[in-house]
Amino acid sequence: MEMVQSSRTSKWVSLCVVFFAHFVSVMADDGPLLNGDFESPPRGGFSNEGLVDGPTTIPNWKTNGTVELVESGQKQGGMILIVPQGKHAVRLGNDAEISQELKVEKGFIYSITFSAARTCAQLESINVSVGAASQNIDLQTLYNVQGWDPYAWAFEAEEEDAHVVFRNPGMEDDPTCGPIIDDVAIKKLFTPDPPKDNAVTNGDFEEGPWMYRNASLGVLLPTNLDEETSSLPGWIVESNRAVRFIDSDHFSVPQGKRGIELLSGKEGIISQMVATTPNKPYKLTFSLGHAGDSCKQPLAIMAFAGDQAQNIHYVADANSTFQTVDLNFTSKAERTRVAFYSVYYNTRSDDMSSLCGPVVDDVRVWFSGARRNGLGRLSLGFGFGLFVLILVWV
Ligand SMILES: [Ca+2]
């Protein structure tokens, strides 16, 4: 009888789980946008005729200006165009744009992940916007030798309809120039509460932008000074270059599935203001490692906590991809800045040009006077040791 009862209960529970899983997946909408990889054939099929002026019909997208579907292997001006994923991508000509309407939940933060490559101009950039929120993402720096990178940008949903627009703000003389976009996805972010014994929000970096499982390049997080709308909840990227969000499927990550690889030396800084009580002793603890991406050593970071700054070199260890670092500081205010950047400008030893660097993960800030009992016992022990020492001495 009890068996029947429990099997009924478990059926009911699994039904509920199925129902809620379905409900959540409908609401969350995480993943690639409709035709986000530009592989759906337009009416009449893909054309290999190169430049098409006027309205190119790209399924699920609205276009404006010179928007071209490019195919891998396609040449333009003696140069092979880069297609980040699959066989097709879009190229945006001068002032051209593509856009798509999405249903989102008002008040939530969403992050858009997309792959971009520049074609010819050094100063190419791409503008991503939703309503009044907009950012120009600079494609000048080639972070890796493949010529393209995934980027993430976050916005707060002001309404239930989000009109996501990618625009080429450039005005190049050569109409065949202009950035290439591919693999557009979205993820609704949540900001985890800091754990009880850690003042850092998302210190393990497990919450962040959408990542494609098959993409091995991580996701670049460009400059973002607004901690309220960050693709990396809790953190800002306060430098003019990007840092890389990496996953354990393709990189060595000290803790969990995600971590941050610092690139471009001082030009790639992540930071967070953490809540502290003034004039109290604290400890900043974090993991420092390598990403397993053939990054040329030495690897080192500068770590900041309040008025303390420390240069720490990663010491290669055959048994581990990372080490744990401690930094003691005394808080001066109710908010203390914690920040990291790479000391060196590292590149990969296999291609000599892709940017790489040290990995940070598992960042914790805790009140080191919190364990009063432990400390009390410690000082008692110390006192007793001193007493014994004095006895022995006498
Ligand atoms: Ca992690």
Give the tens place of pLDDT for each residue, 206-254: 999 999 988 789 999 999 999 999 999 999 999 999 999 999 999 999 9
Strand partners, 166: 98, 128
Å from CA of 203 to ligand 1 middle: 8
Tokens 């744990």 belong to residue: 324
What is the whole-number distance in angstroms between the Cα of residue 209 and the centre of ligand 1?
Answer: 13
What is the model's pLDDT at position 14?
Answer: 52
The CA 263 to ligand 1 mean position distance, Å, reads 17
Residue that finishes a domain, picked among 188, 220, 249: 188
Using the mean position of ligand 1's atoms as its centre, give its distance from the Cα of residue 208 in Å.
Answer: 10
Is residue 237 within 8 A of residue 223, CB to CB? The reply is yes
Count: domains in the chain: 2
Position 78 confidence tier, pLDDT thresholds 50, 70, 90: confident
Quick one: pLDDT at residue 296?
95
Check whether 382 has a pLDDT greater than 60. Answer: no
Q: Which domain holds residue 203?
A: 190-394
Q: Is residue 240 part of a domain?
A: yes
Distance 202 CA to ligand 1 centre (A): 9
| Tokens 């939703």 belong to residue | 130
Ligand 1 centroid to Cα of residue 163, in Å, is 32
- Is residue 214 packed enough to be buried (19+ CB in 10 Å), middle (13-18) or exposed (0-12)? exposed
Give the per-residue pLDDT at 2: 46
CA–CA separation, 256 and 363 (whole Å): 12
For residue 355, report the phi and psi dihedrals to the nearest 5 degrees: -80, 140
Average pLDDT, the chain: 86
**Cα dihedral angle (357, 362, 367, 369), rounded to 10 degrees?**
-100
Share above pLDDT 90 across residues of the chain, in percent, rounded to a whole number? 70
Q: In angstroms, what is the span from residue 322 Cα to ligand 1's centroid?
A: 12
What is the rounded average pLDDT of the residues 34-58? 75
Q: Which residue has the higher pLDDT, 142 or 334?
A: 334
Of 144, 103, 137, 135, the closest CA to residue 123 belongs to 137
DSSP label at 267? Answer: G
Q: What residues sit around ligand 1, an ion, with C-beta below 5 angstroms?
A: 204-205, 255-256, 258-259, 361
Among residues 160, 188, 216, the one where a domain terminates is 188
How would residue 332 be classed by pLDDT, with cut points 50, 70 and 90? very high
**pLDDT band (50, 70, 90) for residue 23:** very low
Cα–ligand 1 centroid distance for 146 (angstroms): 26
CA 173 – ligand 1 centroid, Å = 45
pLDDT at 43: 80
Residue with tokens 């529970």: 13
- On whether both 218 and 107 belong to a single domain, the answer is no
Instruction: Identify the pLDDT of residue 64.
Output: 94
**CATH classification at residue 172:** 2.60.120.260
Q: Does 99 lie in the same domain as 36?
A: yes
pLDDT band at 298 (very low <50, low <70, confident <90, very high): very high
Ligand 1 centroid from CA 193, angstroms = 15
Is residue 175, in this structure, part of any structural domain at all?
yes
Q: How far is the CA of 361 from the centre of ligand 1 (A)?
A: 5
CA distance between the termini of the chain: 78
| Statement to judge: residues 254 and 323 lie in one domain | yes
Give the distance (Å) from ligand 1 centre to CA of residue 261: 11
Question: Band of the pLDDT at 371, cuts 50, 70, 90?
Answer: low
Q: For residue 27, what pLDDT is reported? A: 44
| Residue 125 near residue 169 (C-beta atoms within 8 A) | yes
Q: Is 282 among the domain residues?
A: yes
Q: Is residue 93 part of a domain?
A: yes
SS3 347: strand
At 18, the pLDDT band (50, 70, 90 cuts) reads very low
| 327/262 same-domain check | yes
Measured distance CA(4)–CA(249) in Å, rounded = 42
Are the C-beta atoms of 189 and 231 separated by less than 8 Å?
A: yes
User: Tell me, what's the pLDDT at 318?
Assistant: 85
Q: How far is the CA of 123 from the centre of ligand 1 (A)?
A: 34
Q: Is residue 283 included in any domain, yes or no? A: yes
pLDDT tens digits for range 96-116: 999 999 999 999 999 999 999
Same domain, 180 and 201: no
Which pLDDT band, with edges at 50, 70 and 90, does 11 fall under? low
Q: CA-to-CA distance for 184 and 70, rounded, in angstroms?
A: 16
Span 283-310, average pLDDT: 96
